[in-house]
Amino acid sequence: MNPPPRLLRPVPDTEHVNDGEDVESGRSTASAPDASARPRLAFRTIHGYRRAFRIAGSGPVVLLIHGIGDNSATWDSVHAQLAEHFTVVAPDLLGHGQSDKPRADYSVSAYANGMRDLLAVLDIEKVTVVGHSLGGGVAMQFTYQFPHLVERLILVSPGGVTKDVNIVLRCASLPFIGDALGLLRLPMAMPLVRLGGAVARATLGRAGMARDIPDVLRVLADLPEPRASAAFTRTLRAVVDWRGQVVTMLDRCYLTESVPVQLVWGSDDLVIPVSHGHLAHSAMPGSSLEIFEKSGHFPFHDDPERFIRIVRQFIDSTEPAEYDEAELRRMLRIGVTERAISGAASTRMAVLDAMGTDERSAT
């Protein structure tokens, strides 16, 4: 019997209202949200594939993009409170969460296209885009590909600044190790992983990598499903190889000159080091950098109240970018110059070194 054909058109929402508790990790949200601000889980079918997203609130639109292996529930600690002031849309990237997981293009440029398509289906014309980790790379790529849609850019521990990335992700990109993710499907695999995580956290406390162990376990919990592990591997190999990150944003950071940019980093981030934050801040004219002390790769989990405050203040204190085609042409003709890079001499030199011939960008 042939399967039913995919719908090649948007379909109505099916909805589930979050109750204010992060059901996946047990984290409490920043404060009890107003009922109207509670995120609801909804779906649209675009290009024949189901896209899941959480949406709440009203007013100017904030788009929250999660990282690799994660899903839109990662924003639960801040989503509802932000939705008291904005319309907040948090999608599950294709291959993640409750979105479909086809054999597809999982590059950052493809993800940027997916964000554009979802916003079009939702009749959203302008956004402040917030991206975490891989989602930060997607947010930067989205800003590059669709500048007319972007009012502001907030990058939270984003990938794609330089090659440096945690050795675990480098190893996971290798064929024989990436394929070993299938071992997580063995009956006792995940209980043993959780036990190891609990022992590590009890031993190390909240220092260093131990701070992010609950989030790592939450991501790993989805990977035993074959389509999820395949999508994770394809996504990872699109941005990381054994040498590190293969996509960099540094050579195009100067194009954000006309866009308000806020950078957020954890001082103890062992996935993407905080030094990347200083490089990105130096390479992005007029950007602001907030460093969360004693925070890891998920600063919005470690201190959601502060994160919400930063987002609100940033949006309230900046004017939305206005796309100017003539200005874009001017900047492209001039290109990046040393004068566009700010900061201490050592930081400027580090930025220029990282933009050497060994780096390349998504196109």
> Which residues are known to be catalytic?
133, 269, 297
CA distance 87 to 314: 16
Neighbours of 27 (CB within 10 A): 19
Q: Which of 323, 259, 267 is nearest to 285 (CA)?
A: 259
Q: By the 8 A CB rule, do 96 and 66 touch? A: yes
Taken in order 297, 302, 308, 313, the sign of the CA dihedral is: negative
Q: Which of 52, 74, 98 is nearest to 227 (CA)?
A: 98
Task: List, as one string, the DSSP characters of 170-238.
Answer: HHHTSHHHHGGGGGGGSTTHHHHHHHHHHHHHHHHTTSGGGGGHHHHHHHHTTTTSHHHHHHHHHHHHH
Neighbours of 294 (CB within 10 A): 12
Task: Determine the 3-state secondary structure of 51 from DSSP.
Answer: strand
Q: By the 8 A CB rule, do 184 and 230 touch? A: no
CA atoms within 13 A on the CB side of 80: 23
Q: Which of 273, 310, 311 is nearest to 157 (CA)?
A: 273
